[in-house]
Amino acid sequence: MNAQITTSRRTRRTPFSQYVEDAGVRAYTVYNRMLLPAVFRSLEEDYHHLKSAVQVWDVSCERQVRLRGPDALRMLQLLTPRDLTKISTKRCMYVPITDQNGGMLNDPVAIKISDEEVWISIADSDLLFWVQAIAGCNGFHVVVDEAEVFPLAVQGPKATELTARVFGDRIREMKFFGADRFVFADEEILITRTGYSKQGGFEIYVEGRHYAGELWHALFEAGADLDVRAGCPNLIERIEGGLLSFGNDMTFENTPLECGLGRCVNDSQLATCYGGRALAEERANGSQRMVRALTVSDKIPRCDRAWPLISNERLVGQITSAYRSPDFGVNVAIGMVDHTHWDAGTEMTVMTHAGPRAAKVQQKFWI
């Protein structure tokens, strides 16, 4: 399949789209009805560069669902099974959001801005609708909207060096999932030590459009000798690293426990949060299926649909992301596998749309 993408106001441009296009973006996807770069040179070239240098990513599509008001934090706690006691303005948290059945509606990062304001940095679904309805129904004192914020990620082994050159050395002291404000162009800008790669880096929450261009260019000027390039989340690197993609590897048909997010499901919350009862039952009885790293044999097509996993003519799961890893020399994959077949070393057949291949459960991801 070799089709162009058409654009319209509905598939929103970002303050960085022009720069991304100047940098030669070859393919886009649409994420939260916004353009998200997917390929610059090639998936493989982008991959090698991400793992060796530093990239600046336009991830404006990580929209911020903003809760403002005295009930903001209390409401957030109702939306997730994760205990938020330790969230602070210096520490953000990954918070699966669950529906009444424990199904995942989104897997965002929540950032505490103040005692009366929270941003939920979302994956690809209209979490705004859910939060807004719940706020109204429960009479919470909170205003819910989508903030004019356009995150920019700096990712790669040289990300700390580059970010420190632009925002100062204090950035080096931040811990993983730390949050703080740094000055650029007379603005106090929120930065978190997060990002959708395993190479390390930061996310910069660009508020409004007025300094977006200046920041983009400052990063590229400061990083010229670091071989900084425009980049984007890389399919191969994220599969190797076991970074699940909402909509690909998990949907609202999956619970956080199935997604291997048990650490984000805290017993203390299950009596009160949405879906808590279902999650408590699943924890007590054991999950029926769970995310696994897998390898797939031979040549494989683009994994643009779920591939059934078959054993003894029985459906035992599915693979939802897969690609040839240049560094590991195998096809790396992420799948959801039934408990009968999820042990490391288990072999089965995966039905790709180009025919069957051999699949094997791995002990862990490639990190």
What are the residues binding a copy of itself (CB under 8 A)? 1-13, 21, 25-30, 33, 38-39, 99-100, 105, 124-127, 129-130, 132-134, 136-138, 235, 245-248, 302-306, 320-321
Please report how close the Cβ of residue 321 comes to a copy of itself at its closest, in angstroms.
7
Please report how close the Cβ of residue 162 comes to a copy of itself at its closest, in angstroms.
26
Contact 76, 85 (CB under 8 A): no
Which value, in Å, is the radius of gyration of the alpha carbons in the chain?
Answer: 21
> In the complex with a copy of itself, which residue's Cβ is closer, 11 or 89?
11
> In the complex with a copy of itself, which residue's Cβ is closer, 124 or 240?
124
Please report how close the Cβ of residue 118 comes to a copy of itself at its closest, in angstroms.
18
Please report how close the Cβ of residue 158 comes to a copy of itself at its closest, in angstroms.
26
d(Cα 358, Cα 344) in Å, to the nearest integer?
A: 14
Contact 126, 303 (CB under 8 A): no
> In the complex with a copy of itself, which residue's Cβ is closer, 116 or 146?
146
- Apex 129 CA angle, 277 and 321, nearest 5: 75
> In the complex with a copy of itself, which residue's Cβ is closer, 79 or 179?
79
* Rounded alpha-carbon distances, angstroms, from residue 94 to 72, 112, 188, 298, 325: 17, 12, 23, 36, 27
Please report how close the Cβ of residue 181 comes to a copy of itself at its closest, in angstroms.
29
> In the complex with a copy of itself, which residue's Cβ is closer, 10 or 86?
10
> In the complex with a copy of itself, which residue's Cβ is closer, 10 or 175?
10
Please report how close the Cβ of residue 302 comes to a copy of itself at its closest, in angstroms.
7
Please report how close the Cβ of residue 176 comes to a copy of itself at its closest, in angstroms.
26
Beta strands in 240-354 (DSSP E): 289-296, 307-311, 314-324, 331-338, 347-352
Beta bridge pairs of residue 120: 65, 110
For the stretch 30-34, contacts whose Cβ atoms lie closer than 8 Å and that sit 24 or more positions apart, written own/partner, are: 30/5, 31/61, 31/124, 32/61, 32/62, 32/63, 32/122, 32/124, 32/125, 32/126, 34/60, 34/61, 34/63
> In the complex with a copy of itself, which residue's Cβ is closer, 43 or 113?
43
Beta bridge pairs of residue 180: 191
Of residues 310, 299, 367, 362, the one with CA closest to residue 333: 362
> In the complex with a copy of itself, which residue's Cβ is closer, 131 or 179?
131
> In the complex with a copy of itself, which residue's Cβ is closer, 46 or 203?
46
Structure tokens that stand for 205 in this block: 């929450």
Please report how close the Cβ of residue 164 comes to a copy of itself at its closest, in angstroms.
32
Structure tokens that stand for 330 in this block: 């195998």
Please report how close the Cβ of residue 126 comes to a copy of itself at its closest, in angstroms.
4
Structure tokens that stand for 226 in this block: 């670091």
Q: Is 203 helix (H, G, I), strand (E, B) or coil?
A: strand
Of residues 339, 335, 325, the one with CA closest to residue 360: 335
> In the complex with a copy of itself, which residue's Cβ is closer, 71 or 126?
126
d(Cα 2, Cα 206) in Å, to the nearest integer?
A: 34
Please report how close the Cβ of residue 103 comes to a copy of itself at its closest, in angstroms.
10
